[in-house]
Chain A
């Protein structure tokens, strides 16, 4: 008889336990990878490899975050940022969606406008800031422009793509069943393009969030970006790190709890649209 299978090692046992737990509590799977990162951060800060004023540890950052939250500053700034994002995104969708439909439906509009769309989307949102400051000054106008601009292009381009990927036979079938042009738009074109529209929305909001923070840093008078830049001016690296953590946490939650499930649900329900 040859040697039997080797015994399960303690490490394997631990791994199995972890995988089973992560399957049961999804949140563990999300947070798990952060544990070693936090430990490493804590260790590097604890041995004071860098001066503590430049490199605060996780506990200090957490304490500062709680302080800011307790005073209401963190909540108020976060609210400001999110409201700006929502207002700007709504405007960006209001412009991008109809334009995307036009570019998707009309070959002529596509020929004429597509090169312009590619040109303007290639100019990064932040690159507009110098001239926007001249036009709109330091404030809401400039920030709104940046978000609208950032959200508009992914929505526009994905909507156009979605409309153009609808098989030709579907609008034809609808027309020969008696649907008017308006009904073809609402019953075939919009639902057919919906998975792409949602993808565009998810990308647009993600880019918009990043662009917003950049705009707040430069022209803001409130918001998370402003908080971080203001903290740098006051010499509080801890507060800057609080801002970084908040940005990452908020967007992870919005994206993985709201946007990604929405995208997945439409894509799955629509199934064979993009055959």
Chain B
């Protein structure tokens, strides 16, 4: 596992319709240590998705650097697994083929890729849909596949872009608990983007509040794990932290 360092990162777009430059990200610096769960919370348009896209390598920074294990990143790569809000599963591949995609791109033998994909699917209780196509699954199940597809490729860090925003409220809580359980068992490094303050506090070790392209506040979440909703909804320190993050998001 390797450390992710973001140094003084800025992204300025030229908006051809407005005819002017728009600053999406303005001198952001942060550091994520191995095995840490960091959430970025902020209103829409605050630059949080731009930040994730830069770390993923989908966009090039205007200035600043992103280092993974001391090396500057150059475009997308399998060391940074991404989970998308819209799932981004390949519709013409079965669930199993989707999960086996990453290992297959690394040139592992097909049988080994499929065995590994099957193990991961079993882990989240999706073994029975391995041969289905994504469109045959509910949104919640599709996103489980999305998470497993990223994890099965064993990235150094998992980048999650509002992954549970498109599913219904009940499924969302289940998925959050599943992610918490996976994190508690395997301790991957996770960088998580969300506009849902409850979600950020429930999942993360640390919540960063982003607004108008700048990091405004950093709030540690010292709530012990395992974390489950049933125990936390009425927990006073949880509620106090949610209140603090909410305050930071709204005044930022």
Contact = CB atoms under 8 A, between A and B. Distances in A.
Given A175-B75, A183-B105, A271-B133, A170 B80 contact: no
B82 A173 contact: yes
Given A183-B105, A272-B134, A272-B135, A173 B77 contact: no
B92 A270 contact: yes
A173 B153 CA distance: 12
Contacts of B153: 177-178
A169 B88 CA distance: 6
Interface residues of B, number: 28
B134 A176 contact: no
A170 B88 contact: yes
Interface range, A side:
20 to 34
B90 A170 contact: yes
Interface in A148-190: 167, 169-170, 172-180, 183, 187-188
A169, A175, A178, A194: residue with the most chain B Cβ atoms closer than 10 Å: A178
Classify the interface of chain B: helix, strand, loop or mixed.
loop
A26 to B, nearest CB: 27
Given A183-B105, A271-B135, A176 B78 contact: yes
B107 to A, nearest CB: 9
A176 B91 contact: no
B77, B81, B105, B106: residue with the most chain A Cβ atoms closer than 10 Å: B105
A176, A187, A192, A269: residue with the most chain B Cβ atoms closer than 10 Å: A176
Interface in A220-275: 269-273
A167 B88 contact: yes
B198 interface: no
Contact of B105 (A170, A178, A192, A269): A178
A174 B101 contact: yes
A177, A179, A270: residue with the most chain B Cβ atoms closer than 10 Å: A177
8 contacts: A172-B88, A174-B101, A176-B58, A177-B149, A178-B105, A183-B105, A192-B92, A271-B133
Given A175-B75, A191-B92, 18 more contacts: A169-B84, A172-B76, A173-B82, A173-B84, A175-B57, A175-B58, A176-B81, A176-B82, A177-B81, A177-B101, A177-B102, A178-B78, A179-B101, A183-B105, A269-B92, A269-B133, A271-B133, A272-B134
Interface of B: 56-58, 75-78, 80-82, 84, 86, 88-92, 101-102, 105-106, 133-135, 149-150, 153, 159
